[in-house]
Copies of this chain bind each other. A is one copy, B any other.
Amino acid sequence: MDAIDFSHHLSPISAARTPSPLKSLMKYMSMDGMISLAGGLPHPSLFPFVNIEAEVYSPGVYLPSNTSESDSELLRFNVHRNGRANGQVVDLATGLQYAPTAGFPWLLQYVRDFVRVVYQPAYKNFDVLMNDGSTDGWSKVVNLLCEPGDYILLEKYTFPSTQANWIPMGCKGVPLEMDAHGIRADVLERTLREWDNAHPGVKRPHILYVIPTGQNPTGCTMPVARKQEIYDICVKYDVIIVEDDPYYILQFDTYKLPSVANGHTAPPPPPSYDEAAFLDSLVKTFLSIDVQGRVIRLDTFSKTMAPGNRLGFFTCSPLFAERILRATETSTQAASGWSQSIVSELLHAWGPGLGGYLRWLSGLQSQYVIRRNWMCDAFAKEFDAVQEGDEVIVYGKGTRVKLLSFVPPQAGMFLWVKVYLSENKEYAGLFKSSSEDPETAFEQKLWQDIIDAKLLISPGRFYVAWEGEKKPRDAAERDIVHFRLAFSMTTKEKVDLAIQRLAGVLHHAWGLA
């Protein structure tokens, strides 16, 4: 089945784009014996770069089952000016020249294969094209679909840059309530059903932005059943879904408190790497249930290789891909030739096919599981923690004073900590009586105390989605504030010290120390 026609979703600017006349010359360039004086290209012999030799990790280096020394030896590959003859998949003479806007052909084919095998789109004629990372990707989607005055459906808590892009354009947000599985389907349905009554004369939202795996900031992951419910509602109300999924590959097992798991912090390593089992363990994507071409999926190499690549890709219908291509021609033009060359040769060196890269991703996953566990374990050590259903409830050490809770994330990089203020005397007294917005005022004060203890975390209010031009009062619940703690970037020693500092501040602030 092919994608259906969604051209009525295009913004007027996107619909008005025309191809460059110079593009019409392309087909002549490759004709036999043709001499082209048409393009203003520097001659590659005048590039200063002759060869790059890269040393990289082998794809199996991080697998828990990797015990052989040889497996962790460094691999080497070259990206030479004329390296195609020596088995390279790209060469610098073309890789550093003006290049196809959609991406390098070899890389596009690789990514297309990856999408087919890992995400399994439910329609046939999906297209892929490279971008300069997901922030660039989302910015291009906004320009593709949004015009001033549009309302965009999104999670109640979201990544701030998501909004920063379209608020200046005069677009508005419709924050949707979440539970442990992400956006609530009933809330989405009601919002759309009641839209015309609630917003007479205002265009109904036609875009849903969602971070389905290891959501930023809440860390929650949307199961496929919820995705299906949401997809069906989007079909009913003709909403385009933007699936921004940078943490997709960082999916974890369920965390168990050390005491529960008989003192073992991490689960024992799996006996061996099994590609089919790895693929099977990953939650199904929106793309996998998208029979219409209604989903625009954003992927990035930032979390799976390195953010400095500034390299990601869209998966979407041919119509959307073509319009994004037109917009790319007059803005970023193409992703960096260095990034595309080096990532291409790395994927090639890691071959055959997708095999090496999938092996790398599985190993990477295991590294983030360990980091998630370090952080959760540290809470269990510094406080009294018990597991209740999905949640870990955290009490003051040796007390029954409930300080905070979190759902140990099953994906991503973030722990979203919910702090309960009701038993804090200072809050109950000073802040609740004198402040218009006592939660935010106390959050600010507590956050500063934590800074003073030499620990930097993100205040929850940064992540509150809002509707209009002005950010409203913190939309958090009554007597509750949140903090986001990233476990991606720190060593075990530092995480232990960080949570110790946090515990010191909280015990003191609650009068427990």
Which residues on A are within 8 Å of B, measured CB to CB? Answer: 13-14, 16-18, 20-22, 25, 28-29, 31, 33-44, 46-57, 62, 74, 92, 95-99, 132-133, 135-136, 139, 160-161, 164-165, 167-170, 216, 302-303, 305-311, 329-339, 341-342, 346, 360, 364, 367, 371, 413-414, 451, 454-458, 462, 484-490, 494-495, 497-498, 501
Contacts and interface: CB of A to CB of B under 8 A. Distances in A.
Contacts of A40: 216, 413-414, 486, 488
20 contacts: A14-B168, A18-B164, A20-B164, A35-B490, A37-B456, A37-B485, A41-B486, A42-B303, A42-B489, A48-B56, A49-B305, A49-B306, A50-B55, A52-B342, A95-B308, A96-B309, A135-B331, A139-B330, A161-B329, A308-B337
Contacts of A54: 49, 51-52
A49 B301 CA distance: 13
Given A133-B333, A135-B332, A336-B338, A22 B57 contact: no
Contact of A96 (B46, B167, B308, B488): B308
A20 B168 CA distance: 13
A307 B98 contact: yes
A25 B160 CA distance: 13
A167 B16 contact: yes
A197 B39 CA distance: 41
Nearest to A246: B40
A173 B96 CA distance: 32
A183 B413 CA distance: 55
Contact of A308 (B133, B303, B338, B454): B338
Given A48-B57, A456-B28, A336 B364 contact: no
Contacts of A39: 486, 489
Contact of A22 (B133, B160, B169, B333): B160
A105 to B, nearest CB: 15
Given A165-B331, A338-B308, A346-B48, A35 B498 contact: yes
Contact of A338 (B41, B169, B309, B332): B309
B488 A29 contact: no
Given A37-B457, A309-B338, 8 more contacts: A13-B169, A28-B456, A42-B306, A48-B56, A135-B332, A164-B330, A308-B338, A338-B339
A220 to B, nearest CB: 15
Contacts of A302: 42, 98
A332 B308 CA distance: 11
Contacts of A485: 37
A38 B306 contact: no
Nearest to A133: B333
Given A457-B37, A486-B40, A331 B139 contact: yes
Nearest to A488: B42
A37 B490 contact: yes
Given A306-B337, A308-B337, A333-B136, A501 B16 contact: no
A57 to B, nearest CB: 5
Contact of A333 (B35, B53, B135, B498): B135
Contact of A47 (B74, B305, B494): B305
Contacts of A16: 167-168
Nearest to A349: B48
Contacts of A371: 43
Contacts of A33: 454
Contacts of A331: 135-136, 139, 165
Nearest to A459: B21
B329 A164 contact: yes
Nearest to A489: B41
Contact of A339 (B98, B168, B339): B339
A462 to B, nearest CB: 4
Contact of A50 (B57, B342, B454): B57
A456 B95 contact: no
B334 A487 contact: no
B336 A335 contact: yes
A274 B66 CA distance: 58
Contacts of A168: 13-14, 16-18
B48 A360 contact: yes
Contacts of A338: 308-309, 336, 338-339, 342
A302 B371 CA distance: 41
A273 to B, nearest CB: 17
Contact of A28 (B50, B57, B335, B451): B451
A333 B332 CA distance: 12
A496 B303 CA distance: 51
